[in-house]
Amino acid sequence: MTEPSRAREIREAATELFYERGYHGTSMREIAARLNMRAPSLYNHLESKQQLLVDIIEDDVALITREFEDATATTDDVIEKFRRGFEVHVRHHTRYAHESKIAMTEVAALEEPGQSEVKEMRRHYTELWRTLIEQAVAEGRASTQSTNLAAYAIIDMGIGIARWFRPDGPLSEGTLAGTYCDFALSVIGADSSPPRSRT
Amino acid sequence: MTEPSRAREIREAATELFYERGYHGTSMREIAARLNMRAPSLYNHLESKQQLLVDIIEDDVALITREFEDATATTDDVIEKFRRGFEVHVRHHTRYAHESKIAMTEVAALEEPGQSEVKEMRRHYTELWRTLIEQAVAEGRASTQSTNLAAYAIIDMGIGIARWFRPDGPLSEGTLAGTYCDFALSVIGADSSPPRSRT
DNA sequence: CCTACCGATCGGTAGG
DNA sequence: CCTACCGATCGGTAGG
């Protein structure tokens, strides 16, 4: 019964160490030491150090993308989509702050083809935001004239959270998500009142 | 006449490599190779690899702080201070995108006491923003109720620029600064009209 | 899961 | 500025 979780334990230890010291600043011996193992034993559960990084980053980007798509699919109102999508964005960067920080910081440490894959996944996620903002503007529910920059601005606002948020701090995830949603809505110049039915 | 610039050339080469591959992902041999030197020769111009990183990061944080203080000192209107300060913030992250990205990404690679020094410098910079936003709210020129989070949000918005901005891209620094200033003003709920004189 | 060990590479020094 | 070289450490393999 200890067997199926060993790979996951290794990955969790690696995630913490990559978060604290970076990929190149972490040795396989250190990861093993966290689990009271020796470095060679790790290789019964993984391919390589590099594969560990690829898995952590790709899974994180895939997860936030899926969370976004699920959350925005539950309503037709474009501002409500935006609100739910951004709440997911913020909450992801608090709940998976370590993975998110690694995904942001260690892209350069990815070898090909992993690096290109991750960049493509990120482009896709950004594109989802751009499209949503464009739609809000097209429907007259938001006023920004720079959908491109607005997308970058609100995404980066959320990513930053992963660098300073502390789960045990005084600020709750819910308060943070609410306040940041207001920030994001004002960046795109949102009219947050419900849509008028056409006369 | 080649002598006084050698240290600077080394630092510039190190900045580019740390930006591309990270501190631990860059070797002294690679830095030397960029300048057609051998690694041991570098040590005629610097103390250690670590000192190179400390210098790059501390100078960058010191510079943006000074730029902010200079820019905000040129007016008494609090919203105009905010606007000039944020323009400096944005322009810094485009002009010194490499240094800024290193300063954001490689803090964990700093040994003590450098790491604590940099964190303290950053706390101070954040504090300047918090104070400015609080003042704007106190004067009735901004409406946010979360000066703390607003400070984080607009700072992170600007920092993010260092990751995607390309000086040779289609977007000019001026356009970016203007658009982002509007974003930041709306985050704090700024009334951007000039202050009424008291009746 | 371990010990023993590999070749490669690291930051840095000695000495000129 | 160089060559020669140091001890330490790296990711990973062999073999059990």
Q: What tens digit of pLDDT does each residue of B6-26 get?
A: 999 999 999 999 999 999 999
Kindly tell me if the per-residue pLDDT of B50 is higher than 80: yes
Q: Average pLDDT of A174-179?
A: 98
Smallest CA–C1' distance to D13, residue = A40
Give the residue numbers in A contacting B (CB under 8 Å), as ranges.
20-25, 104-106, 108-109, 146, 149-150, 152-153, 155-157, 159-161, 163-164, 171, 176, 179-180, 183, 186-187, 189
The region of weakest confidence among A14-18, B7-11, B83-87, B190-194 is B190-194
Kindly tell me if the per-residue pLDDT of B104 is higher than 80: yes
Kindly tell me if the per-residue pLDDT of B3 is higher than 60: no
Kindly tell me if the per-residue pLDDT of B198 is higher than 50: no
The region of weakest confidence among A5-19, A38-52, B1-15, B30-44 is B1-15
Query: What are the CB-based long-range contacts (under 8 Å, 24+) for A191-194?
Result: A191/A79, A191/A140, A191/A141, A191/A142, A191/A143, A192/A79, A194/A77
> pLDDT at position B154, please?
98
Closest Cα in chain B, distance from residue A113 (Å): 16
Task: Decide if B150 contacts A146 (C-beta within 8 A).
Answer: no
Q: Give dist(CA A160, CA B163) in Å, integer.
A: 12
Kindly tell me if the per-residue pLDDT of B150 is higher than 50: yes
Task: Decide if B56 contacts B18 (C-beta within 8 A).
Answer: yes
Please tell me the class of the A48-187 domain: mainly alpha
Where does the pLDDT of residue A110 fall: very low under 50, low under 70, confident under 90, or very high at 90 and above?
very high
pTM: 0.94
- A147 CA to C12 C1' in angstroms comes to 51
Kindly tell me if the per-residue pLDDT of B75 is higher than 60: yes
In this complex, do B149 and A25 lie within 8 Å of one another by their Cβ atoms? no
> pLDDT at position B195, please?
63
Q: Where in chain A is the domain with CATH 1.10.357.10?
A: 48-187
Task: Decide if A32 contacts A42 (C-beta within 8 A).
Answer: yes
| CA-based nearest residue in chain A for residue B145 | A179
Residue B183 CA: distances (Å) to CA of A131, A195, B101, B103, B189: 19, 23, 22, 24, 10
Nucleotides of D under 7 A from a protein CB: 1-4, 9-15
Q: Give dist(CA B199, CA B197) in Å, integer.
A: 6
Q: Average pLDDT of B188-195?
A: 76
CB pairs under 8 A between A and B: 86
Other C-beta atoms within 10 Å of A17: how many?
19
Q: Sort out which chain A residues have CB atoms less than 8 A from B161's CB and list them.
A: 152, 156
Q: Where in chain A is the domain with CATH 1.10.10.60?
A: 1-46
Kindly tell me if the per-residue pLDDT of B197 is higher than 90: no
Of all residues in chain B, what percent carry a pLDDT higher than 70? Answer: 93
User: Which parts of chain B fold into alpha helices (H)?
Assistant: 3-21, 28-34, 39-42, 49-72, 78-95, 97-105, 114-138, 147-164, 173-187
Kindly tell me if the per-residue pLDDT of B78 is higher than 70: yes
Q: Which CATH number fits domain B1-46: 3.60.10.10, 1.10.1040.10, 1.10.3720.10, 1.10.10.60?
A: 1.10.10.60
